[in-house]
Chain A
Amino acid sequence: MRLAVAALAGLLLAGCTTGGSAPRATPTPEPPAIVYAAIGASETLGMGTDDPTRESFPQRLLQRLGPAATMYDFGLPSETTAAALKDELPAALQVRPTLATVWLNVDDLIGSVPVSDYEARLDQMVGTLRRAGARVAVANTPHLDHLPAYAACRPNAAAGTKCPLGAITLPPPDQVEALVLAYNAAIARVAARQDATLVDLYAAGEVPDLHPGYVSKDGFHPSAAGALAIAGTFADALGLAPSPSPSPSPQARTG
């Protein structure tokens, strides 16, 4: 029974890239004060945490927002901005969000999407959400070149290590860093242009070195402690008051 529940919970959280028609969400009879739409990829679903139902960064942010909020998690694994424009944005608009978080960049970056294309799609997404009346917090790209997964996907990876991103070979650290900076510059321009809130995850520095506990066992996704820290960065950027109820896990405290 417990396995069945876990499986269903997993299914609930682990939607994957999909095309097809957008869901039809009708407005609630008495809309909550905050309708929060979380748009993103696997990190938005909570992959890498032990319990995505409690520990993903949108969950942590919802806990900060409190019972006045309803959160719709549109995150899908391996989602790029191009896919999200088709899979996530229409569904998000249906729920009439008052707040949206957008964290979409790593999969574009891994997929070698040109910065100009990325910027145009992100601009379309953030602009559409803004015009729909949502406050939008858009996250930039954190440092990637010290992630264990990055090292595992390099040609000179240590024997026995497996690249969690599949059969790809990532460029050298200086090129990755340059790409990250270019993406982040594009994200900053979009945020400024659309009057969105920039969530500066890059400013946290080389997280794998500074806070090893923030990286999950897969060497790529944020752990529960990392997701909590990311939610904190989002909350700070949005100017949310500290929440008295959620208490960080011991892992988060030591992370």
Chain B
Amino acid sequence: MSWSDAGLLALRSLGRRGARSLLAGLGVALGTTLLVALLSIAGGADTRIVSQLSHGGPAAAIHVKNALPDPAGYDSDTLQTGAERDLTDDALTIIRTAPHVGSVVPVLATPALIVPCPGVEPGPDAPPACQRRTDVYFGTLVGADLRHVRDLPITVLAGRVPRVGSMNEVAVTQSYVERVHLSVDHPGQVLNSRIEIATPQLLPGNGPARFRGRWSLATVVGVVAQTVDDGDFLTSIQLTQAARQWALAGVDGRNFSRPTSPYSGAVVVADTLADVHAVRREIFDIGYANSAPEHLVASVQKYLHIVDIVLGGIGTVALAIAVLGVSNTLLAAVRERWREIGVLKALGAADGDIARWFLVEAGLLGVVGGLVGTAAGTAVTAVVAILVDRYLREQGLQGLDLGGLPMQIVIGAPIATVLLAVTAGLVPALRAARLPVREALGG
């Protein structure tokens, strides 16, 4: 009996017992689906997270402050600062030229008086962000060099980030959305509303503190989650520099000291995750406090590995159960086909021909189940990726692109399923092959 004869015979046998074959194939497909989906999601999440961490994504960012380092902060993820120290362009150049530094993005945060919805009377006819009155308050503008926005820990939840160099655009955080009485579930409602920004300048004199204001209007163009620095507003660094220069043109007061540092901090991205510690050390040696989640990253990697093992184990067990189903189906088929086997053997079929017939049948179940399962697993992975990304963004966190299905899973899953199915078919095939002719013919 040739392989093609065995194939035809197997197909005919599968067709004759359609319902059972379908159920056995479905079991294999479901097992494969689960394994493929779990491996893809776990592997995809690992790959993306580690990729972001190790190739300079926001989570790997090193936050540098305009302060001397506290020795206790050397081995800590959290920022521990000493006395203030000006962070200048020269200092940033030194950091930029240090080994393993990918990019350096300067940051300047500055306090400002915020007037939400200037010139708009609250009421139902006003834009959503202005329908209820919001009091004037002191907030913080976080200005960053937005040419390097990809290197910054910023997630856009609605709209966009301000244009590079813009003096009249801001992106707000969710706390501002809440402040203007809107739901963070619909951050887009705050877009296109206006705020007025006032920067104080202390006037000289011995009496009570006297200020003079620099006022400018800005349009809210985006809602972001950001950890560039503490503050409700993300702006171009040019905007905060202008505000800072205005404040610097005044004098120092008892409770109002003028910050002299050109930058309040910087976001430094190392070449790889493995370089983060060395870069942090270098920045410490240059003389600036800094922080990075390097211990957190290591812990995350450890836990991700455990999650991979657990998810892979669950998928493997599911596939093993499905393959045992194949074995069970074929064992039942052997019993049902005794007479058929006996006739074939009486006509001269060798034991190997009979075994080949059952092995091909098991292989066919594996091929169909493996292909269908891989396709279904791909679909499940895509849906889960969309749902996870959407959930993270709704929570104000950085979105996660699980990416496409890894090629090794796409190719490996059907092959592995076929091999497992054939392995599962070995016992029934051997039993069928060793069946004596007389016994098979009802002796």
User: Which one, A23, A67, A69, contacts B249 given CB within 8 A?
Assistant: A23
Q: How many B residues have CB within 8 A of the partner chain?
A: 46
Judge whether A70 and B216 touch: CB under 8 Å: yes
From A12-20, A118-126, A202-210, give the one contacting chain B. Answer: A12-20
Question: Which of B125, B138, B217, B241 sits near A69, CB closer than 8 Å?
Answer: B217
Residues on the B chain within 8 Å of A254, using CB: none
Least CB separation from A94: chain B residue: B249
- The answer, among B113, B216, B250, for a CB contact under 8 Å with A23, is B250
B216 near A32: Cβ-Cβ < 8 Å: yes
Question: For A243, what are the chain B residues with a Cβ–Cβ distance below 8 Å?
Answer: 119
Query: A26 contacts which of B121, B137, B212, B245 (Cβ < 8 Å)?
Result: B245
User: How many inter-chain residue pairs (CB < 8 Å) link A and B?
Assistant: 141
- Chain B contacts of A161 at CB under 8 A? none
- Give A40 Cβ to nearest chain B Cβ, in Å: 13
| With A72-B215, A73-B215, A248-B121 as contacts: A20 and B205 at CB distance below 8 Å | yes
* Bound-state Cα–Cα, A68 to B218, Å: 9
Residues in A1-57 with C-beta less than 8 Å from chain B: 2, 5-6, 8-9, 11-16, 18-21, 23-30, 32, 51, 53-54
Residues in B117-163 with C-beta less than 8 Å from chain A: 118-121, 125-126, 135-138
A62 contacts partner chain B, Cβ-Cβ < 8 Å = yes
* Residues from chain B with Cβ under 8 Å of A234 in the complex: none
Contacts of B238 in A (CB 8 A): 28-30
Q: Does B211 contact A12, Cβ atoms closer than 8 Å?
A: yes
Question: A23-B203, A30-B167 are contacts. A72–B214 as well, Cβ < 8 Å?
Answer: yes
Binding-face segment, B178-186, B192-200, B266-274, B282-290:
B192-200
- Which residues does chain A contribute within 8 Å of B250, judged by CB atoms? 23
**B167 and A12 contact, CB distance less than 8 A:** no
CB pair B249–A5 under 8 Å, yes or no, is no
Q: Do residues B249 and A15 form an inter-chain contact, with CB atoms below 8 A?
A: no
B-side interface mostly: mixed
Q: How far is the CA of A249 from the CA of B205 in the complex (A)?
A: 37
- For B125, the chain A residues whose CB sits under 8 A away are 247
Chain B: CB-nearest residue to A253: B121
Q: Is B210 an interface residue (CB 8 A)?
A: yes
Q: Which of B115, B121, B216, B241 contacts A53 (CB 8 A)?
A: B115
Residue of A nearest to B210 (CB): A15
> Which chain B residues lie closer than 8 Å to A60 at the CB level?
119
With A and B bound together, what is the CA distance between A21 and B207 in angstroms?
Answer: 15
A141: CB under 8 A from chain B?
no
Q: Which residue in B113, B165, B205, B246 is a CB contact (below 8 Å) of A30?
A: B165
Assess whether B329 is interfacial by the CB under 8 Å rule. Answer: no
- Identify which of B120, B211, B241, B248 contacts A245 (C-beta below 8 A): B120
Q: A63-B217, A71-B215 are in contact. Are A32 and B113 (CB under 8 A)?
A: no
Q: Is the interface of A mostly helix, strand, loop or mixed?
A: loop
> Given A8-B138, A12-B198: A70 and B219 within 8 A (CB)?
no
| Interface residue from A11, A21, A54, A68 paired with B204 (Cβ < 8 Å) | A21
User: A71–B198 Cα gap in the complex (Å)?
Assistant: 9
A155 at the interface (CB under 8 A from B): no
Those of A212-255 within 8 Å (CB) of chain B: 243, 245-250
Complex-state Cα separation, A8 to B213, whole angstroms? 11
Interface check A150, CB cutoff 8 A: no
- Decide: A18 and B205 in contact? CB cutoff 8 A: yes
Known contacts A20-B205, A24-B249; is-contact A32 B167 (Cβ 8 Å): yes
Separation of A27 and B169 alpha carbons in the complex (Å)? 19
Contact B241 A247 (CB under 8 A): no
Q: Taking the complex as formed, is B242 at the interface, i.e. its CB lies under 8 A from any CB of chain A? A: yes
With the chains together, A45 CA to B203 CA distance in Å?
A: 15
Can you list the 3 inter-chain pairs with the closest CB atoms, starting with the nearest? A246-B119, A67-B168, A63-B119
* B interface residues, Cβ below 8 angstroms from A: 113, 115, 118-121, 125-126, 135-138, 165, 167-169, 194, 196, 198, 200-201, 203-205, 207-219, 238, 241-242, 245-246, 248-251
| 19 extra A-B contacts, CB within 8 A, seeds A13-B213, A71-B216, A91-B212 | A5-B137, A12-B198, A12-B212, A18-B204, A25-B245, A25-B249, A26-B249, A27-B245, A28-B245, A29-B241, A30-B242, A59-B196, A59-B215, A62-B196, A67-B218, A70-B216, A72-B215, A74-B212, A247-B121
